[in-house]
């Protein structure tokens, strides 16, 4: 049953890639529509836009999606437009489904179904039946799910809606696959694939091809599985779908691991990890880290240790790997165990961060084995307890979904029992020694109490001074970096220092003067405070030193006073988060907040304290001036970086080359937008 669960997860991994890709792409569409929405008349076109917003938000922020769905329903009701009411309910159902609020989802889908039946809209009925099938599939009621899907498929075939028919056919395959009926799943996947090929729908072909690969994995035909996984990978690369690339490479890595070709397996896992980190797909990052950790444990379990370089028979004609191995497989049991534990702990931390219970459980399960092999039985026991705790919390759900039944590892349980006996013996000896120590301890207590009376007064007075000192230190550290503060406290002065490798980040609010004219002064200051507070939290997260705010501008630098080899990457990552924060705030508050532009340049600076009264830590140099020019030549909602910064991070993010632009006082400079 564990294997069934493993490959069901592989299937779900492929199924969810389209939704995750949609989530990444959806925000740009949302931003565009939100700008157009205030200009729309109160007519059916506005209802359609609100419905589209509801749909797009379902993969980004379901709560926001529901809000716009309610607006669409209200306007459609006012216009007495039944189709609009049905569409609004249908899309709200999708948002509730993504929130796992199944009863609310079914309520809205039922409302939509009733309206579509009244108006005789076969396409609408088919779409809702498919969506209701999705709800029942999520709930684990596969009989009802299939019933709905088959109704939808029949209607789609009657209306000649091949696109929807292909989607429903694939969903039927998914339903059979999750239940473990892979021959039946394969039958529907192949039908769906033929439909998508007729439609020339590359995205649908890529998604279905990956599902066929998972079906072959479960049917024990790894060679055919790899063939389809490579096809899915190629299609996703042509589409530029990084989420799809990550999913395909994870699947390829898993297939190679299954047959013992560990070198190829880690090569694809490492590439999947790199792609997942580029798009910050934390669920995929966790899966990759956990998979690499488990792979190391698999290698240890292979007593011959020869399978690391094994070639799989009959697979020579498959595409050779085009990815360079980022990290070679460690040699020796100790190094492998150390690596396994490191990857599993990293995967566990991310799984906890995103609250992914299945990944948390798998990490704990593998950590138990790794710690046991390392003879760290205390950590192994802790991992085992955590594994059983989360297993118990998920057992009911998994039992209903018929995905897996977890069993206790009897062999390790016996080992733990033997260790507990040894531990009890050690504790008994420790208890005897402790009794001896108590006799001597009591003799010293009387003397200690006497000294304590004299010490109390001294400690009390010293405590007052210590409290004041900590207060002063806190204020100082709020103004200066810790290293500079320590130097100032120790010597009474500081020396300006030169730093060769830093990245300077500048932000500025667009049309701030006009905003200050239309906003209440207190509201303006409060909004500035809220924005800069968020910026402080984001920069602190990436070990970036805030230098100062200049009116509505924000200046920070990464790489000082402590050198940081990832200074450029951290600066860009922080800029992306700052921009995302402001875009979200703009969508929610409109004219009550600001648009932002950001600029980054990397190079050298001089840093130190200015003045003797109200002193401030500041940075100087051409790098600071160029960063300011990057910001000034940016646009609202964009991050503009220099050629120097681009060269340092070009493999980490996506970019849009802007060409050479005339920067005031700097001449023609190459600039790039972070995509």
Summarize pLDDT for 93-133 with one digit per residue, the tens: 999 988 888 899 999 999 999 999 999 999 999 999 999 99
Of 262, 399, 410, give the one whose Cα is nearest residue 340.
262
| CATH number of 223-408, picked from 2.40.50.140, 1.25.40.10, 1.10.1060.10, 3.20.20.70 | 1.25.40.10
Structure-token pair, residue 432: 């005897």
Residue 663 pLDDT more than 70?
yes
Of 11-25, 212-226, 374-388, the range with the highest mean pLDDT is: 212-226
pLDDT, greater one: 349 or 379 = 349
As a whole number, mean pLDDT of residues 637-665 equals 91
Please tell me which of 385-389, 394-398, 665-669 the model is most confident about, judged by mean pLDDT. Answer: 665-669
- The pLDDT score that the predictor gives to residue 429 is 40
Where residue 551 falls among pLDDT bands split at 50, 70, 90?
confident
Token pair in block for residue 387: 């594994």
Taking Cα atoms as reference points, which of 196, 202, 266, 258 lies closest to residue 232? 202
**How confident is the model over 245-259, as pLDDT tens digits?**
999 999 999 898 888
Residue with the two structure tokens 């779900």:
12
Confidence of residue 328 (pLDDT cuts 50, 70, 90): low
Provide mean pLDDT across the span 602-614.
Answer: 75
Kindly report which listed range (7-16, 79-88, 357-366, 549-558) carries the lowest average pLDDT score. 7-16
Give yes or no for residue 16 having a pLDDT over 70. Answer: no
Burial (CB count <10 Å: 0-12, 13-18, 19+), residue 95: buried
Q: Is 549 helix (H, G, I), strand (E, B) or coil?
A: strand
pLDDT of amino acid 19: 47
Mean pLDDT of 632-638: 92
Q: Which of 14-23, 229-238, 367-376, 510-519 has the highest mean pLDDT?
A: 229-238
> What confidence tier does 484 reach under pLDDT thresholds 50, 70, 90?
low
The reported pLDDT for the residue numbered 425 is 40
SS3 637: coil
Tell me the range of 31-45, 408-422, 632-646 where mean pLDDT is highest.
Answer: 632-646
Residue 88 has pLDDT above 90, yes or no: yes
**Distance separating alpha carbons of residues 138 and 117, to the nearest angstrom:** 25
Task: Specify the pLDDT at position 645.
Answer: 96
| pLDDT of 627 | 93
Q: Say whether pLDDT at 490 is over 60.
A: no
Residues in the chain, how many? 675
pLDDT at 359: 87
Write the pLDDT tens digit of every residue in 168-196. Answer: 999 999 888 888 888 999 999 999 999 99
Residue 472 in tokens: 């002063």
Domain spanning 497-674: CATH 3.30.70.580: no
- The predicted pLDDT at position 514 comes to 76
């Amino acid at each position: 049953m564990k294997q069934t669960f493993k490959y069901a997860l592989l299937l779900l991994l492929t199924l969810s890639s389209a939704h995750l890709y949609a989530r990444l792409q959806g925000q740009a569409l949302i931003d565009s529509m939100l700008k157009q929405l205030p200009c729309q008349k109160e007519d059916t076109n506005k209802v359609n836009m609100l419905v589209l917003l509801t749909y797009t938000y379902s993969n980004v922020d379901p709560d926001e999606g529901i809000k716009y769905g309610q607006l669409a329903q209200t306007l459609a009701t006012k216009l007495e437009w039944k189709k609009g009411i049905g569409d609004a309910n249908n899309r709200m159902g999708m948002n509730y489904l993504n929130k796992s609020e199944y009863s609310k989802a079914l309520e809205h889908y039922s409302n939509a179904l009733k309206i579509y039946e009244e108006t005789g809209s076969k396409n609408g009925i088919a779409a809702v039946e498919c969506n209701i099938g999705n709800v029942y599939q999520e709930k684990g009621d596969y009989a009802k799910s299939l019933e709905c899907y088959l109704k939808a498929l029949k209607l789609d075939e009657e209306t000649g809606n091949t696109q929807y028919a292909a989607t429903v056919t694939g969903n039927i395959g998914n339903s059979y696959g999750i239940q473990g009926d892979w021959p039946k799943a394969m039958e529907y996947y192949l039908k769906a694939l033929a439909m998508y090929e007729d439609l020339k729908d590359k995205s649908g072909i890529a998604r279905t091809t990956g599902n066929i690969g998972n079906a072959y994995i479960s049917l024990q035909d790894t060679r055919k599985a790899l063939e389809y996984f490579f096809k899915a990978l190629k299609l996703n690369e042509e589409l530029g779908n990084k989420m799809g690339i990550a999913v395909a490479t994870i699947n390829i890595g898993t297939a190679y691991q299954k047959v013992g070709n560990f070198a190829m397996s880690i090569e694809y896992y490492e590439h999947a990890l790199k792609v997942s980190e580029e798009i910050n797909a934390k669920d995929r990052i966790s899966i990759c880290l956990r998979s690499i950790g488990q792979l190391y444990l698999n290698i240890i379990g292979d007593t011959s240790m020869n399978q690391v370089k094994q070639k799989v028979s009959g697979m020579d004609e498959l595409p050779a790997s085009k990815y360079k191995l980022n990290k070679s497989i460690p040699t020796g049991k100790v190094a492998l165990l150390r690596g396994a534990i490191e990857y599993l702990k990293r995967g566990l931390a991310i799984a906890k961060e995103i609250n992914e219970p299945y990944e948390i459980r798998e990490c704990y399960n593998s950590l138990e084995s790794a710690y046991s092999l390392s003879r760290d039985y205390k950590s192994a026991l802790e991992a085992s307890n955590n594994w059983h705790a989360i297993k118990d919390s998920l057992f009911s759900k998994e039992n209903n979904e018929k995905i897996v039944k977890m069993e206790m590892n009897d062999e390790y349980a016996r080992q733990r029992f033997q260790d507990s006996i040894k531990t009890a013996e050690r504790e008994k000896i420790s208890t005897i020694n402790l009794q001896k120590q108590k006799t001597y301890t009591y003799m010293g207590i009387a003397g200690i109490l006497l000294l304590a009376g004299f010490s109390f007064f001294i400690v009390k007075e010293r405590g007052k001074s210590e409290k004041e000192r900590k207060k002063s230190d806190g204020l100082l550290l709020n103004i200066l970096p810790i290293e500079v503060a320590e130097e100032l406290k120790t010597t009474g002065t500081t020396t300006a220092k030169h730093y060769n490798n830093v990245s300077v980040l500048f932000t500025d609010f667009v049309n701030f003067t006009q905003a200050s004219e239309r906003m209440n002064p207190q509201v303006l200051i409060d909004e500035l405070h809220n924005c800069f507070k968020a910026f402080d939290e984001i920069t602190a997260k990436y070990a970036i030193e805030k230098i100062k705010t200049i009116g509505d501008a924000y200046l920070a630098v990464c790489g000082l006073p402590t050198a940081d080899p990832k200074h450029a990457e951290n600066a860009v990552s922080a800029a992306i988060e700052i921009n995302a924060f402001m875009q979200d705030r703009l969508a929610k508050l409109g004219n009550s907040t600001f648009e932002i532009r950001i600029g980054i340049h990397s190079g050298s600076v001089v840093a130190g304290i200015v003045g003797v009264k109200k002193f401030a830590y500041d940075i100087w140099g051409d790098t600071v001036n160029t960063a300011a020019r990057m910001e000034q030549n940016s646009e609202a909602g964009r991050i503009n970086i220099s050629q120097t910064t681009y060269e340092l991070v070009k493999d980490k993010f996506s970019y849009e080359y802007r060409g050479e632009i005339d920067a005031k006082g700097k001449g023609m400079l190459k600039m790039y937008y972070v995509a």
